[in-house]
Every structure is written in structure tokens, then in C-alpha cells.
Amino acid sequence: MGVRTGAQYLRDLNQSPRELWIDGRRITGAVADDPAFRRIAASIAGLYDLQHQPDLHEEMTYPSPSTGDRVGLSFLTPRTKEDLARRRRMMQHWANFSGGIMGRTPDYLNSDLMALASASSFFNQNDPRFGDNVRRYYEYVRENDLCLTHTLINPQSNRAVGPSQQSDPYIAARVVEKTSAGVVIRGARMLATLPLADEILVFPSTVIRATEDDKPYAYAFSLPCSTAGLRFICRESFDYGRPEFDHPLASRFEEMDAMVVFDDVLVPWDRVFLLENGELCNRLYPDTDATVHMTHQVVVKNIAKAEFILGVASSIVDMIGIEQFQHVQEKIAEMIIAVETQKAFILASEANAHENQYGVMTPDWTPLNIARNTFPKVYPRLVEIVQQLGASGLMAIPTARDLSEPTLRRDIDRFYQARNTDAATRIRLFRLAWDLALSSFAGRQVLYERFFFGDPVRMAGALYFSYDKQPMKDRVAAFLERTPIPSPE
């Protein structure tokens, strides 16, 4: 079929009704037309349309190896460093569409799936059928240009013990039984961003103990989001239905997060990739290099996001005339450093890429690992700088309705103007800054960057243990050797 258009995505969404709950209400009609989801659905459709834009079509697609139809370039299995650069350039178009605000452009999980499919022999260690399942699934998603979400984490109930030791062994989703048709799953997973995806990957993440008790929690599979028994319980929406002028980001990019409940859901055998093997589940990401390719995409998003915030902050500086203050220059410099270090990380990862055991050109992990450890701390700081520079101006932001009121408008035009611009233009920028730095949408973005790619504390621990510190320790030891230790007198 090749790349979808936005209209095709919206049609498919409406034709695959899922059990989606929000604010006590089950969505029964067309999801793409529901007030809670209409505008994010339109934004996702906008991403799909970009692939058809004449000036971008070539750069965002490539001929399918199986049909020759043009498919999305984030499915391309990179064989050369130039392929990695092509993937990056394609991903930049999707990232810049929302200023990096959308975390779940489809390339995020397309990259995951591409890496998993190329490592299909890994899954055969569990069952000879599973490798084929992964490869066929990748082709199915690629050829139909589907959008995926994923859920990796067990509900938070009690982190002191594992899933089998909770007060109820069916809090965390687990295998109930295996039948000739497939595997039945009961329980829940915590958080899937973008429940408007076509399909969901239900994969391992936290370490699974290789015990009999934890075996039912060890699996990887995929399902259409419209599967019977699959229920998405959404958090409240931060798209309050306000005009784009008022909530420029929340009105467009509210991706939504949902708890996922499995009410005895049947997973057909051809959708099972790993089963009841904790050891393979724990090795899934490192052994397939999926994390590396996902991080390559994440850093592209980080660059777009940091550049967007730098643009907003610099515009505020110009507009209200604060560029002469040294601390302002220092803060903007801090933002520039954030942008340029993320760029350096991605280019270093491509320059030092290597072919992995599956013949895939794989970016160097160290710079990407540093990037993913850095950004959860950098992003809240970028938001803080917007607050520090915007100051009370971030509270002087009349709404579209205020601007439409003639009596108020006279005051607004006079008192809200900026050094080099009229009041309405100033307010439009400051409302964007507010939606980046202060609104409920902005708060969720900060939480997202802190956690979506894993617990930063445990990511730092993984870096500590995986980084080879020995050469540095040897150099210090050699240096110290040149300094005699005094003997007792």
C-alpha cells in the first residue's frame, strides 16, 4: 500500500473502534471526531500528509523491498552511515512539525520495530516461530504505514516487590492460559502514550526475575488497539478545547497517556514474540540494539525541541529588550549549549557507527547513552529559563476572547505592547511560552522528558556499570606511581 495520507489514518482510526475511556465517558462514536481527540488526531494526520508533500516525498520515503511501493523511511534498515543520515533527515521533518513537542511521532516505534525485525534470530532462541512473527509483523506495519504505541511498565502499586508478590497477582498483566488460538492476558500495564495509535506493543522493560513465579509476566507481543478486552483508561485531557491562540501547544499536540487494562485479552500466536522467558526478556533491548535506534530518533526529537525553546526564549529577549543583561546572555548561551551538545551527540553516534551482528549499521551507543542521560535534566532547565526570562509577562496573556472585546482591546493594545511589536503579537508569543513553561500541558511535558525513556536514576546506574572506566583508572595509577609514598621515618 505504501505511505498513508492523513485522511487514510483518520479513516482507519474511525473504522477500528477501541475501548477508550476519558473522564468517566466511553468514546462510542468516531474517535477522530471526538472533542477530546479531534485535534491530536488532526496533528497525526498532518504527519502522514507530510510524507506526500512533493518537496519531502523523496526524503521521507523509500521503495519497499517487498512491493516497490514507497514506504516510510523510518522503516529503512540502515546498512551504511549514509542510511543513518537519511533516517535522521527524515525524522527531522516529523520532529520539526511540532517543534519536538510530539514525543510519539510514528518513527519512534518504527525504529524499535525495524531493529527487532533485523534481529529476528534473537526471538528464535525462545521459539522458532517467534522470529518469523517479528519479521512478518514489521513488514505488515511498514506496508500499511501503521502507527504504534507501547506499554512496558507494570502498575506502580508496590515497587518494593515484583509483579508476582503484589497483593493481587493479576495487577500486573500476566499470562492466564495458553490455548490453541493464542495466549490469554489479564491485568494492567502502566502508561501508553498515544492511545490513538493503530497498534500496541506490549513489551518487557523492568528486570524480570528468572523464577517460576515471574514467568507469566515475561512476554513480548503486539495487538491492534481495537482488540476485544483491551481497555484504555486515559488521564484527563489538557486540550481544553480552547482556541489555538490561547493554548497553542495543548490544542494541537495533546498526545494523551493511558493505563492499559487487559480483560482476558487473546493474543494470537502470530503476534507473540517472546513468552515465559525472563532471561530473554531482560536481554531483548541490549541484544537487538533496539534501544540504540530508538535513542537515535529520540535525540532528533530533543534537538527539535531544544531549538524550538531556544527560538521562543530568544524571541522574548528581543521583544522585551533584555539582551543587554549578562545573565540573560548566559541563559541563552545555556540553551545554545543544550542544542549543540545534542547535535554533537547524534553526529558522533553516526560517525562512529558500526555494523552489528545482524548486519545493521548501528550508531555508536556511548554518545546516544550520554544524550539520553543528559536531556531529562536539561529539559526542565530550559523550561525554567523561559520562566526566568518571561517573568510576569507570562501572566500578562489575555485570551482570544479578551482581544475580541472592544473595551478591553483599547487597553490591551496600549499596555501589552512590546518594544518592537504590537500587543497582539506579543501576547501570541507569550501564550506559546506559557504553554511551554507553565500550563498543565507544559508540566506534563516536563514529566515526560524526565521519565518517558526510563527512570533517570536507573539509566545513570546502567551508564555507571557499562562505561569502561579502567583506562582512566590505569592512567591515574600510572601517574600516582611516579609519586613515591613516604616510608615511616
Ligand X SMILES: Cc1cc2nc3c(=O)[nH]c(=O)nc-3n(C[C@H](O)[C@H](O)[C@H](O)COP(=O)(O)OP(=O)(O)OC[C@H]3O[C@@H](n4cnc5c(N)ncnc54)[C@H](O)[C@@H]3O)c2cc1C
Q: Applying CB under 6 A, which residues contact ligand X?
A: 149-153, 156, 159, 191-193, 257, 444, 447-448, 451-452, 454-455, 457-458
Helix axes 128-144, 107-118, angle to 10 degrees: 140
Element (H, E) at 445: helix 440-451
DSSP one-letter string for 113-178: HHHHHHTHHHHHTT-HHHHHHHHHHHHHHHHHT--EEEE-B--SS-TTS-GGGSSSTTSB-EEEEE
Nearer Cβ to ligand X (49/449): 449
Q: CA-CA distance, 394 to 433, in Å (whole number)?
A: 7
Provide the minimum distance between the beta carbon of 125 and ligand X in the complex, in angstroms, as a whole number: 24
* Residue located via cell numbers 477508550: 20
d(CA 164, CA 154): 11
Q: Between residues 189 and 215, which has the closer beta carbon with respect to ligand X?
A: 189
Nearer CB in complex with ligand X: 141/353: 141
Nearest approach, Cβ of residue 206 and ligand X (Å):
7
Closer residue to ligand X in complex, CB, 197/319: 197
**Would you say 325 or 451 has its CB closer to ligand X?**
451
Q: Which is nearer to ligand X, 81 or 444 (CB)?
A: 444
Helices (runs of H) and strands (runs of E) counted in the chain: 18, 14
Shortest distance, position 194 Cβ to ligand X, whole Å:
7
- Tell me the closest approach of the beta carbon of residue 416 to ligand X, in angstroms: 33
Q: Count of alpha carbons within 13 Å of 366, Cβ hemisphere only?
A: 11
Q: How far is the CB of 149 from ligand X (least distance, A)?
A: 6
Integer Rg of the chain from CA: 24
SS3 313: helix
Rounded Cα distance, 459 and 235, in Å:
26
Nearer to ligand X among residue 254 and residue 289 (C-beta): 254
Burial of 483 (0-12, 13-18, 19+ CB in 10 A): exposed
- Residue number, 83 or 214, with CB nearest to ligand X: 214
Taking the complex as a whole, the smallest distance from the CB of residue 268 to ligand X amounts, in Å, to 22
Residue-by-residue DSSP string for 212-254: TTTGGG-EEEEEETT-TTEEEEEPPPS--S--TTTSTTHHHH-
Contact 7, 45 (CB under 8 A): yes
- Could you tell me the smallest distance in angstroms from the CB atom of residue 118 to ligand X? 22
Least gap, CB of 282 to ligand X (angstroms): 14
